[in-house]
């Protein structure tokens, strides 16, 4: 992302306190604006951001909103709600484009196209710092030195490819610490997925040749490698070296399997992203296919929030700028629809990638077929999404009827706790709504109450709900940001329900339905009892879809709570006294443990021995020694 240095930011008359609204308040800004490029924000009467937009010429763009007619329904509603505006001028329109999308991702305005669930993608990393490079899956910032290949659409795609690559090229996947500590070959060598460099079964030169073959394959040079392996296999067979010939045959078969598993492999497109948009029923689906090294590395569907009436060009432009905010764009991006300013996007993406990036809407040939395939996938995915949304709507209506709610809930929060006899206690919250799970809103709570009796589920639930709703009261007191639930589902019966209601009363929170979900006398799924304040406990008919829906909600909260608890427990079990030493990170901790064998031995070591550890300077040795010997 290019850093923008705006020349100025200003807010003029027509502020949130002004009685002016809509076209009138927008016209009031025109005299203060010039033709500079920049970003504008439209705000409602409470100061909430309705819309963030960019402009090549701010005055001209704002003037278009000041006209009373010619707007879509979505833009018309936005204009009528506008009570004030804010402006940022920039040096160039490219800076305005990038700043606009930064603000959209930060502020999430109601009327903007917004990319949801933009998680990082996994890639394959071949390390370069070790004499025997490692091949492994990588996600996140690319700080480690090596060659990166990706992105892959999901963990499944990268794991399958890694497994096949290990069969073909026999590269190690163990960490450097495991490699150095090996005295005999591991299971990967036994099942012929590693060449055993850790115990000298292959020379550095021969292993380096395998690494180069693997890199060549990931760069799209698979045909050359296959021809050479086939030639070596025939030569080995003629020399009656049947074991080597069989090993080469297995490598060729594994390489073919990689190519088959990757599906459509275009011959004429070496590296590109294919982005196709389909709109229907006021919703949109964007399919992204990743083509790398002439191979299909998977695809992912996105469902951006569009406001219901944004056109295709606006959706694609907003999607791409947000999508490539945290990942490098490829040299070629194939689109199903043209965008309004391809030159602007190409300039922005090229500056980010450090090379030329082309946007193309193909009209014929292989590229056109690739886009049509992505478009078909987008159409089918959106059809499934709309069907699921309709089914979800029916379930929410049934839930409202079963629990006597005034309307189908738009946000359901489900809470659960997890611990082992009070140890490693955590609380968990999952969220569901009209479109299913809202995983970006899931929250976990480390139980902090020191006066709680170990295993006090009521006390833990009180702490979780107190923290959750105290923060809501502070951050969204007028409930205008869509963060407040309509329905709380609590794992438990009358006792848990009473504890939660006490929290709500203490915080002055009203208007939220609370339902306790308890298993029946025999604790069998399907015999749940429901507790609502002022009503007798009741059950839903066995086989009722609403009952199954509540079970899924409860089970998801339980799954999330258990996973959070296990992660906390594993972290605590893996902790050592060395974690408290300033300046001792993962690398130094490994060096110390490898040298002394245990954290206890490190704590008992004298200063001279600490100074002998590789990677530990004299000053750091003194720090470690002082930590363990001068704490009284």
**CATH value at residue 453:** 3.30.420.340
Task: Examine the domain organization and report whether 592 and 547 are in the same domain.
Answer: no
Residue 392 is assigned to a structural domain of this protein:
no
What percent of the chain is modeled with pLDDT above 90? 36
Q: What is the mean pLDDT of residues 318-342?
A: 92
Q: How many CB atoms lie within 10 A of CB 80?
A: 11
The answer on 166 and 28 residing in a single domain is no
pLDDT of residue 521: 59
CA-CA-CA-CA torsion sign (185, 191, 192, 193): negative
Residue 145, phi-psi category: left (phi > 0), alpha (psi -120 to 50), beta (remainder) = beta
Residues 194 and 218 in one domain: yes
Please state, rounded to an integer, the average pLDDT across all residues of the chain. Answer: 84
pLDDT at position 150, please? Answer: 81
Q: Could you tell me the CATH number of the domain that includes residue 33?
A: 3.40.1440.10
- C-alpha to C-alpha distance for 302 and 322, rounded to whole angstroms: 12
Stated as kind and residue range, the H or E segment containing 40 is: strand 38-43
* Residue 591 placed within a domain: yes
Whether 432 and 374 share a structural domain: no
Helices and strands, counts by H and E, the chain? 20, 19
Two tokens, residue 117: 């669930």
Question: Residue 621 belongs to a domain with what CATH number?
Answer: 1.10.150.20
- CA 123 – CA 139 distance, rounded (Å): 6
Q: Please check whether residue 343 lies inside any domain of the structure.
A: yes
**Residue 534 counted as domain residue:** yes
Do 67 and 176 lie in one domain? The reply is no
Asked if residue 508 lies in contact with residue 501, where contact means CB atoms within 8 angstroms, the answer is no
On whether the CB atoms of residues 490 and 430 are closer than 8 A, the answer is: no
Q: Which residue has the higher pLDDT, 323 or 575?
A: 323
pLDDT tens per residue across span 403-437: 999 999 999 999 998 876 657 788 899 999 998 89
- Whole-angstrom distance, CA of residue 208 vs CA of residue 346: 38
Judged against a pLDDT cut of 90, whether residue 530 lies above it is answered with yes
pLDDT digits (tens, 9 = 90+) for 151-192: 888 787 788 778 877 887 889 998 888 888 888 888 888 888
Q: Residue 423: in which H helix or E strand, if any?
A: strand 423-433
Q: Are residues 257 and 202 in the same domain?
A: yes
Same domain as 565, residue 581: no
Question: Out of 229-238, 241-250, 528-537, which region has the weakest mean confidence (pLDDT)?
Answer: 241-250
Residue 388 in any domain: the answer is no
Q: How far apart are the C-alpha atoms of 405 and 255, rounded to whole Å?
A: 58
For residue 338, the enclosing domain spans 271-383
Whether 290 is in a domain gets the answer yes
Burial of 446 (0-12, 13-18, 19+ CB in 10 A): exposed
Q: What pLDDT does residue 67 have?
A: 85
| Helices assigned H by DSSP within 354-510 | 365-402, 457-475, 494-507
Model confidence over 535-579: pLDDT tens digits? 899 999 888 899 999 999 999 999 998 888 787 777 666 667 777
Q: How many CB atoms lie within 10 A of CB 156?
A: 11
Residue corresponding to tokens 């059950």: 539
Query: Cα separation of 91 and 79, whole Å?
Result: 27
> What six digits make up the tokens of 449?
């109450």
Domain boundary, last residue among 243, 261, 279: 261
Residue with tokens 């489900």: 414
Q: Is a pLDDT exceeding 50 seen at residue 3? A: no
**How much is the pLDDT for 15?**
46
Note whether residue 112 is domain-resident: no
Instruction: State the pLDDT at residue 47.
Output: 86
Final residue in a domain of this structure, among 213, 229, 261: 261
Do residues 219 and 338 both lie within one domain? no
How far apart CA 343 and CA 358 sit, in angstroms, is: 9
Residues 218 and 278 in one domain: no
Lowest mean pLDDT across 259-268, 348-357, 451-460, 599-608: 259-268
- pLDDT score recorded for residue 550: 92
Structure token digits, residue 69: 């007619």
Q: Which two tokens stand for residue 268?
A: 């004429």
Query: At which of 107, 139, 158 does a domain end?
Result: 107
Q: What's the confidence (pLDDT) of residue 82?
A: 93
Closest residue by Cα to residue 86 from 2, 10, 170: 10
Report the alpha-carbon distance of residue 199 to residue 185 in Å, rounded. 6
Q: How far is residue 38's CA from residue 128's CA, in Å, rounded to a whole number?
A: 43
Claim to verify: residue 247 and residue 288 sit in the same structural domain: no
Compute the half-sphere exposure of residue 144: CA atoms within 13 Å on the CB side of its CA. Answer: 19
Whether 504 and 479 map to the same domain: the answer is yes
Find the radius of gyration of the CA atoms of the chain.
Answer: 30
Instruction: Please state, in angstroms and rounded to a whole number, the distance separating the CA atoms of residues 507 and 623.
Output: 47
Domains contained in the chain, number:
5
Question: What angle is formed at CA 527 by the lines to CA 526 and CA 529, rounded to 5 degrees?
Answer: 120
Residue corresponding to tokens 């499944």: 156
**For the ranges 150-154, 235-239, 257-261, 452-456, which has the lowest average pLDDT?**
257-261
Residue 13 has pLDDT above 70, yes or no: no
* DSSP code for 270: S
Lowest mean per-residue pLDDT among 19-33, 259-273, 482-496: 259-273
CB contact set of 589 (below 8 Å; sequence gap of 6+): 576, 578, 579
| pLDDT on residue 255 | 64
Is position 400 within any domain?
no
Q: Give the pLDDT mean for 69-83.
A: 87
Same domain? 247 vs 308:
no
Q: Is the pLDDT of residue 513 over 90?
A: yes
Nearest to 289 by CA among 277, 304, 307: 277
pLDDT tens-digit map of 444-490: 998 887 676 776 788 888 999 999 999 999 988 888 778 899 999 99
pLDDT range class, residue 58, cuts 50, 70, 90: very high
């Amino acid at each position: 992302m290019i850093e923008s240095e705006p020349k100025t930011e200003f807010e003029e008359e027509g502020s949130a306190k002004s009685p002016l609204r809509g076209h009138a308040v927008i016209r009031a800004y025109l005299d203060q604006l010039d033709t500079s490029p920049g970003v504008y924000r439209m705000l409602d009467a409470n100061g909430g951001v309705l819309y963030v937009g960019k402009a090549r010429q701010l005055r001209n763009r704002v003037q278009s909103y000041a006209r009373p007619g010619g707007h879509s329904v979505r833009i018309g509603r936005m204009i009528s709600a506008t009570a004030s505006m804010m402006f940022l001028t920039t040096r160039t329109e490219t800076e305005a484009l990038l700043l606009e999308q930064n603000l959209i991702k930060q502020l999430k305005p109601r009327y903007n196209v917004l990319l949801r669930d933009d998680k990082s993608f996994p890639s394959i990393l071949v390390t370069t710092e070790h004499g025997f490079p490692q091949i492994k899956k990588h996600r996140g910032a690319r700080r480690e030195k090596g060659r990166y290949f990706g992105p892959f659409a999901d963990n499944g795609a990268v794991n399958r490819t890694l497994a096949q690559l290990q069969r073909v090229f026999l590269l190690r996947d163990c960490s450097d610490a495991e490699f150095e500590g090996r005295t005999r070959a591991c299971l990967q060598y036994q099942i012929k997925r590693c060449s055993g460099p850790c115990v000298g079964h292959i020379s550095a030169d021969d292993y380096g040749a395998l690494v180069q073959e693997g890199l060549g394959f990931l760069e799209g040079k698979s045909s050359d490698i296959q021809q050479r392996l086939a030639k070596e296999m025939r030569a080995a067979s003629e020399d009656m070296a049947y074991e080597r010939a069989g090993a080469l045959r297995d490598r060729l078969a594994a390489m073919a399997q990689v190519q088959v598993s990757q599906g459509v492999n275009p011959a004429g497109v070496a590296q590109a992203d294919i982005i196709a948009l389909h709109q229907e029923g006021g919703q949109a689906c964007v399919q992204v296919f990743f083509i790398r090294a002439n191979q299909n590395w998977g695809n992912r569907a996105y469902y951006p929030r569009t406001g219901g009436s944004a056109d295709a060009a606006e959706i694609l432009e907003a999607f791409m700028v947000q999508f490539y905010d945290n990942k490098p764009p490829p040299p070629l991006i194939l689109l199903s629809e043209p965008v309004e300013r391809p030159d602007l996007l190409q300039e922005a993406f090229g500056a980010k990638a450090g090379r030329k990036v082309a946007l193309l809407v193909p009209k014929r040939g292989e590229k056109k077929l690739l886009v049509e395939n992505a478009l078909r996938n987008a159409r089918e995915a959106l059809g499934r999404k709309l069907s699921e949304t309709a089914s979800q709507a029916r379930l929410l209506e049934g839930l409202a009827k079963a629990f006597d709610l005034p309307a189908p809930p738009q946000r359901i929060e489900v809470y659960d706790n997890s611990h082992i006899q009070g140890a490693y206690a955590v609380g968990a919250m999952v969220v569901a709504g009209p479109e299913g799970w809202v995983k970006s809103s899931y929250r976990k709570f480390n139980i902090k109450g020191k006066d709680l009796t170990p295993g006090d589920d009521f006390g833990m639930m009180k702490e979780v709900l107190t923290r959750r709703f105290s923060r809501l009261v502070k951050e969204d007191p007028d409930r205008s940001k869509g963060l407040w639930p309509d329905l709380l589902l609590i794992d438990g019966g009358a006792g848990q329900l009473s504890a939660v209601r006490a929290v709500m009363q203490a915080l002055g929170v009203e208007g939220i339905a609370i339902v306790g979900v308890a298993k029946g006398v025999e604790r069998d799924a399907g015999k749940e009892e429901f507790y609502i304040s002022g009503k007798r406990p009741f059950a839903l008919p066995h086989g009722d879809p609403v009952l199954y829906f509540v079970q899924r909600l409860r089970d998801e909260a339980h799954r999330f709570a258990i996973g959070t608890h296990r992660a906390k427990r594993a972290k605590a079990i893996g902790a050592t006294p060395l974690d408290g030493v300033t300046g001792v990170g993962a690398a130094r901790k490994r060096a110390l443990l490898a040298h002394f064998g245990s954290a206890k031995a490190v704590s008992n070591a004298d200063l001279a021995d600490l100074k002998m550890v590789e990677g530990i300077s004299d000053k750091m040795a003194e720090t470690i020694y002082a930590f363990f010997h001068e704490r009284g």
